[in-house]
Each structure stands twice: as structure tokens, then as C-alpha cells.
Amino acid sequence: MERTLIGDLGKHISETVSISGWVDVRRDQGKMVFFDFRDRSGFVQGVVLPDSPAMEAAKGVRKEFVVRVEGVVNKRPEKNANANARNGDIELEVHSLEELAAADPLPFDMSLTGFNLDLATELDHRALVLRHPRIQAIFKVQAALIDAFREFMKSQDFFEFQAPTITPATAEGGAEVFRVDYFGKKAYLTQSPQLYKQVVMTAFERVFSVNRVFRAEPSATTRHLTEIVSLDAEMGFIGSWTDVRDMSEATVRHILEQLKARSSAELALLGAELPVMIEKTPTLSLTEAQEKIFAATGRDVRGGKDLNPEDERVLCEIVKKDTGSDFAYVYGYPTRQKPFYVFPNSEHPEFNEGMDLLCRGVEWLSGGRRINDYGQLMEHVRAWGMDPEKISMFLEAFRYGAPPEGGFALGAERMTMQILGLKNIREASMFPRDMHRIDTLLSAPVPDDATDAPEN
């Protein structure tokens, strides 16, 4: 008999069906055995009656056994129906139960209500924990978020390209970079597709990419990973950096709208509330932001090069109180603090036309206008002490005519974490990499002959 998905059983009342899935729960009640079966589409209760030919098999089946079950879909009597559960009004009367795979006893409680692990245990057991609906909900929301990004970019005529991971130079500068031994030569894992998206923009005008990028963050914070999914965009023929801001705002707005439309069940399961984006997201210069923080807290951060995490948190609170917005743009950072490609303001070249988007106290996005004039770019390359040879491909694109342009990047895990109110960004990464973990803890013994043990 062909497999019916559990989520579709409601359409098969009084029919004999075959389902396949896992045993989520097993309850023995007198001479009857009750199960909750689970597949990718949902849950259903199954009952094995005392005289059922499946009783013998049912006795040997425990949680997480993989089974094929045949039975009749019955409406549950009114008094036994559970209006809050999907399929709560039906039940499968089991006639045959075939074991497809056995399972060891679970190392912890995986039930809907009893599941409550600390983060370290959760990550140590990611392979198993991924089966839990709460954990699945996190990654379903993340997948919907990435889909929505892609769709919006395409709707705005952006071209998707694949950026390389192994690069000859670092785009973002700084020491936070993983070195690769590339046939005896030095190379790096990409920190950002920045230089590539700019190059591709000079041919395709509007481009985007969904990539993995790597940051050798030497600290263990709740908002940093060493491997992240970066949602990148770059666009030519802008009039001002505000065109980039507006495009990024429209992108985030679309993502939020799509999550509201498509992910309401997951958001409800996780008790998450989408952040509020008002009609025009407040935009402050760094100087204005610092003034506001000083006025509200008495903490004098004026003249600082950047906002620290505490400043970002306070600023978001101020903006929320004043405008109702959970979002705020901050622009105009000191030129020398940022990468060489960022465009300096024409009137005040000591400040650039780069921006960040903050939400609920955390940075979601960076971007802004870039230098497109070849001469100016070369001046910055020299002033930033970079080797033009190493970025010769990038420079060539600008030497032969590039329009005024800008772009932005969103961190998928940061967004997921903030939207869902997760306490730690590791919860928003299916297989998080941080200073101490590559699936298993790095302190775990490494075989003596391992030549590729991580150094970072």
C-alpha cells in the first residue's frame, strides 16, 4: 500500500492507510497500547486493540523505532478529541506494525513538554535533538527567512551568483581570519564575498549571494560564530548611500512579512514575536546616536569609533521608546576604522557612508556606499597598507568603469536569534562552529596521527 503522510490523514477518515515514521510516544494502558507516530508532516495517535494482529509487534516497539503502520483512520469520540493538537480529532486503529529500524533507549527526555536541555548538551546531541519540533521550528524559520531574502532580491532584478570560499586576500581586514595552507601558499577562508560581489556588480549591476563566511572570532560571546550564513547584496547606479539603506530596509520588511505569512505556526510554538518595523526606520548618524546615549544614560560615549554592544542595546531601547520601532540605522563611522572600500563622505571625509542596521539591541546588517572611482580606490588601497597584487582582480573591475554603487549583508543566524528571542546564537545555527566546537568539543582527544587538527 502506498504511504500516506500523517498530515494528510484527516482526508482519509474510515479508510485503511499505510503510514511510515517514528514512534514518538508509547503508552501502555491495560491491554491496549497507544502510540504517537511522527513523520515530517505531523503527529497522530495510534491505538493497538487487545485483539489486533499488531499486538505482538507492538510489544517490542519503543520510542524512536522507525515503523511502517497499517490501520484504519477513525474519528475520535468527542470526549477524547484534543482540539489543540493537529490530528487531535482522529486516531489510527493499528492493524499491522512493521519495524523498519530499532532504536536504543533515549539518553534524555525528548517529549514535547519534558524536553529541556542546557545548550551544551543540546549541541552535543544535535543529531538527535534535531528531531524535536521546537528545534525544527528554529530551522524552518531560518529556511523561510533565507527563501524570503532570495525571493525579494530576484523580484528587484538582482542576479544570484556563487562566491568563492578560498580567497587570496581578506576583505574586511583585521586578524579575524582563518588561514589555509593552499599547496604551500597562504590563502584564507572568506570573511565576506565583499570584493567578489563588487566585481560581479560591475558586470550585472544588481547581484546577491547566499554564502558561508568565516570569522576567526577569538572570543566566545552569545552573538558570534566562526562560520555564518551571510546574505549579501550589491547594486550599481545609486544616487546616494540612502538608496542602499532603502533597499536593505525593503528587504528586511519583505522577510518579516513572509515570516508572518508562512511561519506563524513555528513562531507560535517558540513564543516569538516579530520585531516591529515602522513605515520609515529611524536613521541616526553615529554622532547623533552617541549624543542620545549620553543624554539618556550619562555615559559619555561621544567621539567613540563605534558603538559597543551595550551602546547598541541602549540605543535600541531609546529608539523603541521614542518611535515604536525595533529597528534603527546608524551611519557615518570614522573612515579609518572601516575597510578600504567604504565611501568617505565628500564634505566630511573623516566619516564614511557606511551604515549598520540594529534590531532589538543587536547588529543585523552592515553596508553602505562604496568607492567606485579607480583613482580614489587606489589611494585607499595604499593608505590601508594593502598589496594591490593580491586584489588585482577586484581593481581591474574598477579600472575599466564602475557605476556609483553600494550594498549590504545580513547575518542569517543573528536575524534568526533575534526574531525568535533565542539567548545564544549557537541555537540559531544547526551545526555551530565557535572557538571551542566543531560538532564535538575541540578538547576531545585527537588521534596522534591527525595532521589537520584545527589550530584556532
Q: How many Cα atoms sit within 13 Å of 101 on the Cβ side?
A: 7
Contact indicator for 156, 408 with CB cutoff of 8 Å: no
By C-beta, is 202 or 230 nearer to ligand AMO?
A: 230
By C-beta, is 135 or 195 nearer to ligand AMO?
A: 195
Distances (CA, A) of 267 to 59, 89, 247, 421: 37, 24, 26, 10
- Indicate the burial class of 366 (C-beta count within 10 angstroms; 0-12, 13-18, 19 or more): buried
By C-beta, is 42 or 404 nearer to ligand AMO?
A: 404
By C-beta, is 250 or 265 nearer to ligand AMO?
A: 250
Binding site for ligand AMO (CB under 6 A): 172, 192, 194, 215, 217, 224-225, 228, 230, 363-367, 407-411, 413-414, 425
Q: At 249, which helix (H) or strand (E)?
A: helix 241-262
In whole angstroms, how close is the CB of 208 to ligand AMO at the nearest point? 11
In whole angstroms, how close is the CB of 274 to ligand AMO at the nearest point? 17
Rounded Cα gap, residues 211 and 164, in angstroms: 9
Rounded Cα gap, residues 336 and 340, in angstroms: 8
Contact indicator for 26, 61 with CB cutoff of 8 Å: yes
By C-beta, is 146 or 410 nearer to ligand AMO?
A: 410
Largest CA distance in the chain: 87
Task: Report the chain's terminal Cα–Cα distance, integer Å.
Answer: 53
Counts for the chain of helices (H) and strands (E), in that order: 12, 19
In whole angstroms, how close is the CB of 94 to ligand AMO at the nearest point? 47
Distances (CA, A) of 386 to 372, 378, 383, 425: 17, 10, 8, 33
Q: How many Cα atoms sit within 13 Å of 95 on the Cβ side?
A: 10
Rounded Cα gap, residues 365 and 91, in angstroms: 47
In whole angstroms, how close is the CB of 420 to ligand AMO at the nearest point? 15
By C-beta, is 47 or 169 nearer to ligand AMO?
A: 169
In whole angstroms, how close is the CB of 337 to ligand AMO at the nearest point? 12
Alpha helix locations (H) across 36-180? 55-59, 119-124, 126-129, 133-155
Nearest alpha-carbon partner for 165 in 195, 137, 193, 203: 193
In whole angstroms, how close is the CB of 5 to ligand AMO at the nearest point? 36
Q: Measured at CB, which residue is nearest to ligand AMO?
A: 411
Rounded Cα gap, residues 362 and 311, in angstroms: 10
In whole angstroms, how close is the CB of 445 to ligand AMO at the nearest point? 28
Q: Which three cell numbers stand for residue 116?
A: 529541556
By C-beta, is 364 or 398 nearer to ligand AMO?
A: 364
In whole angstroms, how close is the CB of 394 to ligand AMO at the nearest point? 13
In whole angstroms, how close is the CB of 275 to ligand AMO at the nearest point? 14
By C-beta, is 71 or 367 nearer to ligand AMO?
A: 367
By C-beta, is 33 or 410 nearer to ligand AMO?
A: 410
Rounded Cα gap, residues 456 and 438, in angstroms: 11
In whole angstroms, how close is the CB of 368 to ligand AMO at the nearest point? 6
In whole angstroms, how close is the CB of 174 to ligand AMO at the nearest point? 9
By C-beta, is 38 or 370 nearer to ligand AMO?
A: 370
Nearest alpha-carbon partner for 201 in 163, 243, 251, 148: 163
Contact indicator for 249, 275 with CB cutoff of 8 Å: no
By C-beta, is 252 or 409 nearer to ligand AMO?
A: 409
Distances (CA, A) of 301 to 328, 339, 432: 18, 22, 33
By C-beta, is 61 or 425 nearer to ligand AMO?
A: 425
In whole angstroms, how close is the CB of 211 to ligand AMO at the nearest point? 10
Q: How many Cα atoms sit within 13 Å of 104 on the Cβ side?
A: 4
